[in-house]
Amino acid sequence: MENEIRSLLGTALGELFGPEAAAVNLVLEVPRDRSHGDLATNVAMSLARTLKKPPRKIAEELVAHLEGQDTFLESITIAGPGFINFRIGSSIWHHSLADILKKKTAYGRTHAGEDFPVMVEYVSANPTGPLNVVNARAAAFGDTLVRLFDAAGYKVASEFYINDVGRQIDLLGESLLARYEQVQGRGEGQIPEDGYQGEYLIELAQELDAKEIDASLADKSDSEKRDIMSRHAVEKLRAWQEKDLKAYGTQFDRWFYQHELYPQGVEDTFKLLQEKGLVEERDGAQWFRATQFGDDQDRVLIRANGDPTYFLADLAYHTSKESRGIKRSIDIWGPDHHGYIERMQSAMEALGFGRDWLEVLIVQQVNLLSDGKQVKMSKRKGEFITLQDLIEEVGKDAARFFFLQRRAESHLDFDLDLAKKENDENPVFYVKYAHARISGVIRKATEQGVSESQDADLSLLKEAPELALIKVLHRFPAIIASAAAQREPHRLTTYLREVAQAFHLFYHECRVISDNSDLTSARLALCRASQIVVSNGLSLMDISAPERM
RNA sequence: GCGCCCGUAGCUCAGCUGGAUAGAGCGCUUGCCUCCGGAGCAAGAGGUCACAGGUUCGAAUCCUGUCGGGCGUACCA
């Protein structure tokens, strides 16, 4: 119906003030204060300057013009400095309700994204240890964003990029080798100074098949031994991460190994930049002229020792995405990588993708609070709260909901004690409770032999809380579309709280199961529609919608 | 030094491409169950939107500067 009003307004503007006025960017929004109507536009104010007329005068002419027509609008009023407020007739809302009941699990899905191919790359944690809480936040954010894109009609793919090449991985191999020697009782294993001290490597070393490992290590050089152990460590730890993520509800279309880019992808990308004249040698290394694209310094592609940098591999990786048809790569990075954005976008421009082809979202840090005190984490020393710990501690649903209540870039205080509480202090229960309550009413009705009816007379829903609830439910597809377009999954939690609130108010004011069987049918239909929205919304976040609790 | 993020109620945070009297949850005060789930509903107290300028019909929102907090500034990844 927004579109209908849009076209009504557009036509009226053209007829009254000419094509220039009709071309204005029409802003139509739901007023914060519901007494202002269902939708409002500020068009009279924004045209005041070009038309050289006072806004209220423009509004008056516009309204007079619209009122001469037969529309579905119940009223059109002018308010404040020149807002035009529209009130929509209740029959339209009843149609909207019928639409929800018809679409069921598909309600909320739109084609807003027009099949635009995007890729969301997220978590991408180093395979050097278990996942931490920032990874958990990024995972909830990323997989919800992926589902939002899907629901909003984008063509979306998801990937986890595994940094299985480089010095960190060498250190990991050396660390595991040392642990292995220790576990085998040879005692000569010494973890490198800046190696990985975490106890999980002991566990991992114990799981290794000694016979097989000893055979594969025999007669090998130190670096070969290290590489063998690196491969074991990466595969074990990666599988471990995948298992934890799956338990958390996060899955990827593909796990992309950095080593898949060697040597071909890396060489090709390097040559391409070279052909464009964007590479120069300095101090024995090969540098990308990033400063030509706005970066504050040039960046090394190939080190003096001949090894490609992580940066070059990352360029090859993004080239791979582009050649697979991705039109927009949305990378979700941790807070320690924001200094890397400019460099990457400069390179994307150099490669001809355009700087905006790569969109980076930074998921900010998480402060875990317990007993009001901050829980400190250090990956190297192996002291941290892992994703697994978190799920065990507060549960998957609570963890997800907490992460998804906040914007990605806001620093998050995560109160473990609060998330653990199974009472009304914990916001996740409010929405789940609404779902359980709705389910309970529908169940009760069925038990009493009052079943739902396909042809319930929805026009019987005339009470203020009933219409208010329908209006909230009606916004769901727009919420999904805007959450996807703005990359802001937190709009979903905010919205679902609104839905729950509107439902609770309706429930409190309007008795569903009564002697009036027609009204009972209509209200049961409204309950069902509410259940559909809450359930669809929670499932976008992979949070359960319980029938009872 | 330079760059990025953040600064909104006692606490944790929303505030949609600038819009009408700045909101929610928790906490605090007070009402509401003979009746479909009270894990609920209603009412109240609580604000110089860090500060100062600017842009305009209109700024929490955009621009500049200042002050706080965090992070980053590698031939690490």
Residues A282-339: tens digit of each pLDDT: 999 999 999 998 888 899 999 999 999 999 999 999 999 999 999 999 999 988 888 8
Q: Does the structure show a pLDDT above 50 at A382? A: no
Is the CB of A26 less than 7 A from some atom of nucleic acid strand B? Answer: no
Q: According to the model, what pLDDT value does residue A480 have?
A: 96
Q: What is the mean pLDDT of chain A?
A: 91
Q: Which nucleotide is nearest to A169 (CA to C1')?
A: B77
Work out the average pLDDT over A121-129: 93
Q: Are residues A295 and A354 in the same domain?
A: yes
Q: Are A394 and A419 in contact (CB under 8 A)?
A: yes
Protein A505 CA to nucleic acid B43 C1', in Å? 15
pLDDT at A376: 66
pLDDT at position A380: 46
pLDDT of A495 higher than 90:
yes
- Could you read off the pLDDT of A38-47 as tens digits, one per residue? 999 999 988 8
**A504 and A447 co-located in one domain:** yes
CATH of the domain at A504: 1.10.730.10
Q: Which of A160-164, A336-340, A483-487 has the lowest mean pLDDT?
A: A336-340
Of the three residues A248, A280, A314, the one that is the final residue of a domain is: A248
Q: Are residues A442 and A330 in the same domain?
A: no
Please tell me whether residues A443 and A512 are part of one structural domain.
yes
Give A168-185 pLDDT, tens digit per residue: 899 999 999 999 999 998
Which stretches within A448-516 are classed as H helix?
464-474, 476-485, 490-509
A380 part of a folded domain: no
The C-alpha atoms of residue A157 and residue A155 are separated, in whole angstroms, by 7
Percent of chain A with pLDDT over 90: 69
Gap from A416 CA to B27 C1', in Å? 17
As a whole number, mean pLDDT of residues A72-97 equals 91
Last residue of a domain, one of A197, A226, A248: A248
CATH number at residue A298: 3.40.50.620
The tens digit of pLDDT for each residue in A414-464 reads 888 888 887 777 888 999 999 999 999 999 999 998 878 888 999 999 999
Q: Is the pLDDT of residue A374 over 80?
A: no
**pLDDT (average), residues A504-530:** 95
Domain-located, residue A463? yes
pLDDT greater than 80 at residue A389: yes
Distance in Å from B28's C1' to A395's CA comes to 30
In a shared domain, residues A347 and A243 = no
Q: Is the CB of A32 under 7 A from strand B?
A: yes
* A412 sits within 7 Å of strand B by its CB: yes
The per-residue pLDDT for range A201-260, each reduced to its tens digit, is 999 999 999 999 999 999 999 999 999 999 999 999 999 999 999 999 999 999 999 999
The CATH number of the domain holding residue A68 is 3.30.1360.70
What does the radius of gyration of chain A's CA atoms come to, in whole angstroms?
Answer: 29
Q: Where does a domain end: A217, A248, A279? A: A248
Asked if residue A392 has pLDDT above 80, the reply is yes
Note whether residue A417 is domain-resident: no
A141 neighbors A491 (Cβ within 8 angstroms): no
Contact A504, A469 (CB under 8 A): no
Query: Do both A338 and A462 map to the same domain?
Result: no
User: For strand B, which nucleotides have at least one atom less than 7 Å from a protein CB?
Assistant: 2-7, 12-17, 19-21, 23-27, 35-42, 56-58, 69-77
CA distance linking residue A143 with residue A124, whole number of Å: 13
Q: Does one domain contain both A14 and A135?
A: no
pLDDT for A477 beyond 60: yes
Indicate whether A341 belongs to any domain. yes
Q: Report residue A410 as tokens.
A: 């806001």
A23-26, Cβ contacts within 8 angstroms, sequence gap of 24 or more: none
The separation between the first and the last C-alpha atoms of chain A, rounded to the nearest angstrom, is: 37
Rounded Cα distance, A90 and A456, in Å? 16
Q: Are residues A190 and A104 in the same domain?
A: no
Pick the closest to residue A293 from A344, A246, A335, A218 (CA basis): A344
Domain membership flag for residue A394 = no
Supply the pLDDT for residue A324.
97
Task: Tell me whether residue A388 is in a domain.
Answer: no
- Closest nucleotide to residue A442 (Cα to C1')? B36
Do A493 and A536 reside in the same domain of the chain? yes
pLDDT confidence tier of residue A377, bands split at 50, 70 and 90: low
Question: Does residue A125 lie within any of the structural domains?
Answer: yes
Instruction: Tell me: do A263 and A241 sit in the same domain.
Output: no
Residue A369 predicted with pLDDT over 90: no
Question: Residue at minimal CA–C1' distance from B4?
Answer: A338
Residue A338: the pLDDT is 84
Q: Domain of A51?
A: 2-88
For residues A353 and A260, membership in a common domain is answered with yes
Tell me whether residue A400 is in a domain.
no
Taking the CA of residue A138 and the C1' sugar atom of nucleotide B56, their distance in angstroms comes to 39
Give how many domains chain A has, as a whole number. 4
Which residue's alpha carbon is at the shortest distance from the C1' of B20?
Answer: A80
A377 strand B contact, CB < 7 Å: no
A270 and A130, same domain (yes or no): yes
- State the nearest residue by CA to the C1' of B42: A505
